[in-house]
Structures are given as structure tokens and as C-alpha cells.
Structure 1
Amino acid sequence: MQINSEDLKKIVTWSYELTVLMPSPKEYNKKEEDRKKFVIDSRSKFKSLPEALRQMDDAAASITHFVKTAAYFLPRKDAGVKPEQMLPFLQRLLEQVGELNSTIEKPEMVREHLMYLIGYANWNADAVCVILTANNGDFNKSSEVIRKMVKAELRVLGAEDQVNDICSRVEKWVKREDSSRQGGNQNRERNYNRGGYQQRRGY
């Protein structure tokens, strides 16, 4: 690993920018399970991105292949996620690739930065899902653990001043799915109270 602490600070903070643009953690329960389990929809799309950087020996070619792979596969229609939901993630990722290309001379180093960037973004998402699952969906308990995790990562890199901002983004990201689910329940309840369900049964 040839990345110094300043580079790593950028990669870690950037990785959270990408994480919160993924689909929010979603509660998933099998009937036989009592505890809540949280997952990311279309997780395999994000997990497979680093593989595109390994498919070519030439570093410059691998970066081009990575961009082509991301631009093609991320917005493709997938169960549970609309193509437009992937566009903010893709746009930010392409901006980050462009900035790395313009500030780092060697393609080999750009590729290494991208490997860590995508890897950390995926680990962030997995960690949040694991924490939510371990706390059975308790948002307050999970937020406390997530804050400690982020602080431990950034403090040693001299980026403790970014902890509050990152934690705020992560909390909003986690709540987004919950708000959407609650909104759907409220809409169904309003329809029921207005007689919408009874009316539909009459047709």
C-alpha cells in the first residue's frame, strides 16, 4: 500500500459520500426470524465494482474499463431499485475518478486509490447494516455505535472535524428508507379511512 495518511483521509471521507448515495438499508425479515435484518438493495452491483479494476493488467486500461463498467451496470434496471436511484452514486463516483486522474500522475496509484475508495464505501454500508441488525433496528443505539466507528476512523487521520457532518449524512441515509416505509403505511391508512379500499372491493 503506497497511500499516505492525507490520501487515506480523502478516501475515507469520499467513501462515505458514496455510501450515503446507495439505496438505504432496508429491513428484511424471513418469517422464521424474530430479529430484524437490514440489507442494501442491489448490493451485488456495488460489490462487483472493484473486480472491474482487476480485469486488466495495464492500470490505465483498467481505469477506463472500470468507468465503462460502472456507467453501464449501475443504472441498469434491477429488482427493488429504479435506474434513476443509481445516478447520484454514479455521478459522484465519476467526479471522484476525474479528480483522481487530474491530481495523481501514475495510473497505478489512481487504480489503488479507487480500489480502496470502492472497498471502503462497501464496507461502510455493510457495517451500518450489521450494526442496525445487531441492535434489532434500534436507531438511537445504532447511531451511537456508528458515531464511535466514524470518530475512530477519522480522528487518527486528523479529520475529527468531519465526524458530525458524516454522521449526520449517515443518519439521514438510514432514516430515508424508514421515512419512505412510514409514508407508504400512512398513505394506505388514509386510503382506508376514506373508504378507498372498500370502494375498490366493489369493482
Structure 2
Amino acid sequence: MAKIFINAADGIVDIEADSDSLSDVTDHALRLLETIQSVAGANLVGTPEPVGQTVDEVATDEATIAPNPEPTKKKRRSKGGGKTKNWKVVPEFLTDDQWKSVKDFYFEKAPNTQNEQVAVLCYTLSEQSNSTAFDGHEIHTAFQSVGVKTPANLAGVFGNMTGAGLGRQVDGKFELMFRGKELVQHELPRQVKLNA
């Protein structure tokens, strides 16, 4: 059985699934989040009620991932309760020189939060490759190339960034949008304020 909890107001996607179906469930959750956000409008910040759904409650044209004939009580889960996906390293995605440029740019921008880290990596990957959208394996590889631990719930970070208007998820890939690019170009590295 797979369960998906989506809080579109906060951009939170919480997934509970076995390792065999986690990839399919994650893709389904991302499509659900996009659908919910398109129906609710682009600006979900400040929405008074979070939107939470399990796979069993969602009506889609696709077959549901885990049909459940028995009615179940809806459980609200806390952040970070989902299982971690096993991302693969795909170093052939870029050349050695391009990976060095990714690492140099990452440390030049000095991101602090997970959102900032993913934004910086997406920005520099798009500069080094012919692509603007990247899957979790490519982002995980970028984290490995700079020697920084990949967030435990990378798919959740993509959801949070989508909710914050920094990017969007399309066909299982994450793409940095204008607001995310502006963050990387103009707000990073953060300036340290000194007391006078």
C-alpha cells in the first residue's frame, strides 16, 4: 500500500511506500501536486487549509497505485516521515572539467538551506549542460561531486521549492524558474552583517 500526503499550501509532499514502488509513487505524487497547484492557482501561500490526499482519495485517469477497498481514517503525518529514495550516481552526465566548474560555482555561492543548495546546483548544471530540467539522480550526482550530503528527502525539497515558486516539476524532473535563478544570481552568497 502506498500513501501520499500533499500540503500544497506549504509545498510539502510526504510519501509512504515500499522500495519497489517508491519511484512510481513519487512520480504520481509530483503529478498530483502539479494538478492541485494548477487547480488552486499559482499563489498558494497563505491558503488557510492544507490540501492533504492519499492515493486512494484521488480520482485520476490513471489506475491508482494502491487501491484500498476498506475505508481508512486520514492520518496527518509530520514532515520527513517518508522513506528515502536510493538515488544513483551518473557521473557521465558531465565531463570532469564541467564537474569542477559545478563545484567551484557551488562554493562561490555558499548556499545554506536545502532549497538554496538545489537552486545553485540546478543553475550551474543548466550552465554546464544543454538541459534546464534535472532528475533526482542528476541532482544527487551534483551533490556528490561537490562533497555535500544529498538531502534525505530530495523529492520533498523539489516539492518545497515548487511551493515557494523557485521551480517546477515536469515529467519527473525539476526545473529552476525565474525566482530561483534570481535567488542564485543576486541573493547568494548571503552577506554577513557585522554589528557596529
Question: Does the alignment reach a TM-score above 0.5?
Answer: no
Of structures 1 and 2, the one with the larger relative CO (CA 8 A, separation 6+) is 1
Higher percent of residues as strand:
2
Q: TM-score, normalised by structure 1?
A: 0.27
Higher percent of residues as helix:
1
Structure showing greater radius of gyration is 1
Q: TM-score, normalised by structure 2?
A: 0.28
